[in-house]
Amino acid sequence: MSSEKRYCRKCLLSEQGENGRMQLEKYLAAIHKEDRTDDAAYEKRLERCRACEQLGSDATCLSCGCYVEFRAIQKRGSCPKHYW
């Protein structure tokens, strides 16, 4: 039996345990504060991603291949399907 952890298909990195949160923090640290969306816009974008048919395993967007949280945090980021 595999000891590999499995996560729900619709989980974001922030919801994938300590490893996911650490990976997310590493990515987000690369984005300057002035280049980040505000908290409300970030959460709104992620809510749309959570409901999206394009959200794949490992919290990536099947349309663009990005981690959705990494894309959503960027002020100039956009959804490849124009959902946000």
Site map for ligand SF4, 21-60, x if CB under 6 A? Answer: ---------------------------xx--x-xx-----
Q: How far apart are CA 21 and CA 37, in angstroms?
A: 19
Handedness of CA 12, 14, 15, 16 (dihedral sign): positive
Cα 28 to chain centroid distance, Å, stands at 10
Q: How far apart are CA 81 and CA 39, in angstroms?
A: 22
Instruction: Please identify, using beta-carbon distances, which residue of 24 and 55 lies nearer to ligand SF4.
Output: 55
What's the min distance (Å) between Cβ of 69 and ligand SF4?
Answer: 10
Which residues contribute to the site for ligand SF4 (CB under 6 A)? Answer: 48-49, 52, 54-55, 61, 63, 68, 71, 79-81, 83
